[in-house]
Chain A
Amino acid sequence: MTNPIRTGVVGAGLAATAFHVPLVLSLPELFVLHSVVERTPPADRPQGTVASKFEVSVNLVRKYEDLLSNPDIELIIIATPNATHYNFAKAALEAGKHVLVDKPVTTTYEEAKELGEIAQRKHLVLYAFQNRRWDSDYLTLRKVLEKGTLGHITDFVSHYDRYRNFLKGSWKETASPGTGLVYDLGTHLIDQALHSFGRPSKVTAFIQNLRGIGDDSVDDNFTIIMHYPRSDTNPYLLTVTLRAHPLSQRTPQLRYTIRGSKGTFVKYGLDVQEEQMKEKGVQAFGKDWFGKESDDIQAELEVVEKEGDNEPIKSRIQSERGAYQELYKNLAGAIRNNSEMAVKWSQAAMVMLIVDLAVQSSKEGRTIDVPSVQY
């Protein structure tokens, strides 16, 4: 007997329509899309953007408070502009709802910490939408790291580069809290690195507006370096470098260059799920091509059998299948069965801590020590 989780989505922009709504609709045994909050539906679509785009019947709610006060709603998905995440999430938790919040979960560490404490106190699931843990490339990389194929990692470089010499004119490019590339793309890269290597001891960042277009205070380029000391598990120093370049004429773009004491892992390209979901919506799921990337962008490995060998052997690795639905399945399990959350809120809060420190480092022109935090 299924008991799908009655879900409300706040926001009807890209995050909602490209990601959350299709994912919810694709798992009808786990979720039912009950309501959508859209303050101002388009004039030609009075039933709301979501209902019209996905041809589903769903309650259109104009005011968030009405969603919060509806006792039928169990889970609220927050897919609104970054600066509003904290307020919406807090209100949802205080109304006794479980919450899935898109990244960046807040705009500061303190906000994230506060939300986590509320959720803990009220025994609610508070889940960060770090979907790129289930990107093909990251899943492929995780397998390699878990096997120890590369030995001890000394240099981990992760890129989100693109070529865009104009502004798209969205809220993301105007100067307000939580805008800019560090909050938009940096949070993904930071989350993956923290997930793989834990908390760094120091952060250095260079965050700037490279193209010189639009608001100069909104960054379109970053380099964030996370420094890791020697440890029981790694006798070498590790440097993690996260980069995003907005004027990179390459195809496919470089994604990872990872070097360890026994080998090197290089990958180009980008996970296909987002494009597939945008194109096919709910129809994308369950297809044998969903989440499958082209062989052209398979990762390349150069490894030696044992440390000390000098002649690496090249090979290519079959890409793992991308699997965004796994996040949602894990979310459902956490809500219904108290299963362990794959994305822990403390990890999401740590991402915001690193973002805070990166912004500070860039402003002050110095490397910042990462405090050990309770949360």
Chain B
Amino acid sequence: MTSHQPIRTALIGLGIAGSGFHTPLILSLPELFVLCFVVDVDTSPHRPGSANDASFAAKFGANTKFTSNYNSVLADQGIELIVIATPTNTHFEFAKAALGAGKHVLLDKPVTTTHNEAKILGQLAEERGRIIYAFQNRRWDSDFLTVQRLIREGILGDITDFESHYDRYRDYLKGTWKEQAVPGGGQFYSLGPHLIDQALHCFGRPTSVTGFIQNIRGTGDLSVDDDFTVILHYARTDKRPTVLTAILRGHLLSLRKNQLRYSIRGSHGTFSKYGIDPQEEQLKQHGAAAFALSDFAIESPDIWGTLETISTPPSSSASSTSGDDNGSESSAQTGNNHSSGSIVSIPIESERGRYQDLYMNLFATIRTNATPAIQWSEAELTMLITELAIQSSKEGRTVQVPPADAVPLLKETSMDSSSTRKATTSPRRLGWSLFRSSVHRKGDTESTRMA
């Protein structure tokens, strides 16, 4: 890798994502990236990172230039990569322009507001022979890396129930664009794509989706959600002998010191985890210097997860611990009905988080044609599931997920360019039949799903 030149990069969008994540990450890898420009088209005086203050060089590097002229950056032949960290409803246009100008693109999440937009970008990137990469950084959260390891190593067996939460307590409005009724606004677009991407990465394409996306606090614009529950239903398959339900939850009035993060049940055990990956907070506090911290991305033991598992394999006989209790509720509940073994509880040391790995993989993808850890098709699927969850919530019903080859690319319409939230690829409108498991599962190639 060191024989390759660093990638000349421009970053557009200097809000929380741009200043809090991308800037320190880029600056922390000087052999891989050079931050040539930061672009901010938002002229609000409250925005961080405006070029006029003296701290600019300290924040963005002595050689980084500021501009509010995106087009000039796109026209600059020397720039190879555009990192887009602007509000969601501008992602599509900025990414399209960047690809059109022959640049590689790293696009913050959610990558677009519609599935079709994501597909258009994917096709454009392919036509141009350029990389488009979704910034799903939370694949490298400590907790998710830990969960992945447990699943991959078969420690939990066949997963039957996967609960994944981003809960917090906020009873006031922050006054940001995310609370406005704009495409991409609301808590679901903000937090949902992380949870959806992680679940899809673990389990692949679901059979159907149920969403409850609502404004529970009754504050601000009531059409802007502040609370969501999205359920991904997975039918039994040859590879998966039990049904699987993934419940993705974002509750905004949750008063807990350590919020529940995961509750995962499998045939061999249960994994429970509380708390949140430390990298975001560390980056907020220390910027690029965070990476040098000895405890960077290391979770404290008080938020390590717990594995509970039967210490010896359960017997498959019908013997129960209490005599002739036929269909009893209590042995149903106190038990853990198995004739041998008892449940042990084991703390699981958290994997170390590694946001830099995303940028390192991006470098390798651009310079050496390495396989991207995040396939663009996974980002497309995330947007499809996002749309279906919204549709489900609106229509009050569970929505079937069409098979991978069943959703065609729609040519851009005026609706797409205005980035509405409407599900323009509604399976019903396209008249698709229910997903049939006998159809060749193109979904298997879509994600790097663990066995």
Contacts and interface: CB of A to CB of B under 8 A. Distances in A.
Contacts of B389: none
A227 B328 CA distance: 30
B4 interface: no
B243 A208 contact: yes
A165 B327 contact: no
Contacts of A364: 397
A262 interface: yes
Interface stretch (A87-95, A253-261, A283-291): A253-261
A147 interface: no
Of B243, B253, B268, most buried by chain A (CB within 10 Å of CB) is B253
A275 B265 CA distance: 26
B333 A162 contact: yes
Contacts of A225: 212
Contacts of A166: 316-318, 337
A129 interface: no
Of A155, A163, A230, A364, most buried by chain B (CB within 10 Å of CB) is A163
Interface string A225-265: 10100100001110100000101111101100101111110
Contacts of B328: 14, 18, 274, 278
Interface in B402-424: none
Contact of B326 (A14, A160, A314): A14
B382 interface: no
B50 interface: no
A275 B160 contact: no
A371 B262 CA distance: 36
Given A275-B334, A310-B169, A210 B343 contact: no
Contacts of A164: 332, 335, 337-338
B253 A278 contact: no
B330 A270 contact: yes
A275 B253 CA distance: 37
Given A172-B327, A223-B245, A236-B218, A245 B396 contact: no
A250 B270 contact: yes
B257 A167 contact: no
B329 interface: yes
A212 interface: yes
Given A162-B336, A366-B398, A367-B397, A278 B330 contact: yes
Nearest to A164: B337
A211 B308 CA distance: 19
Interface string B122-149: 0000000000000000000000000000
A208 B309 CA distance: 24
Given A206-B233, A248-B265, A251-B336, A212 B327 contact: no
A307 B310 contact: no
B396 A154 contact: no
B47 interface: no
A72 B267 CA distance: 54
Given A210-B242, A303-B255, A163 B337 contact: yes
A204 interface: yes
Contacts of A245: 160-161, 265
B325 interface: yes
B269 interface: yes
A169 B333 contact: no
B336 A236 contact: no
A304 interface: yes
B118 to A, nearest CB: 26
Given A154-B216, A303-B255, A312-B256, A278 B335 contact: no
A221 B216 CA distance: 28
Of B260, B314, B326, B338, most buried by chain A (CB within 10 Å of CB) is B326
Of B236, B317, B332, most buried by chain A (CB within 10 Å of CB) is B332
Interface residues of B, number: 65
B335 A304 contact: no
B246 to A, nearest CB: 12
Interface string A10-40: 0001100010000000000000000000000
B333 A160 contact: yes
A63 B332 CA distance: 31
A304 B255 contact: yes
Given A160-B332, A164-B332, A167-B318, A259 B326 contact: no
Interface string A347-375: 00000000000000000111100000000
B251 interface: yes
B350 interface: no
A170 interface: yes
Contact of A154 (B253, B338, B398): B253
A251 to B, nearest CB: 4
Nearest to A13: B326
Interface in A152-207: 154-155, 160-173, 184-185, 188, 202, 204, 206
A163 B327 contact: no
Contacts of B241: 212
B314 A165 contact: yes
A165 B270 contact: no
A168 B318 contact: yes
5 contacts: A247-B242, A270-B333, A278-B328, A302-B255, A314-B257
Interface of B: 160-161, 169, 171-172, 208, 210, 212, 214-218, 227, 229, 231, 233, 236, 241-243, 245, 251, 253-257, 260, 263, 265, 267-270, 272, 308-310, 314, 316-318, 320, 322, 325-330, 332-338, 342-343, 345, 395-398
Given A14-B328, A366-B395, 16 more contacts: A18-B328, A155-B251, A162-B332, A168-B320, A184-B329, A204-B212, A210-B160, A212-B242, A236-B216, A239-B216, A249-B265, A251-B336, A274-B328, A364-B397, A367-B396, A367-B397
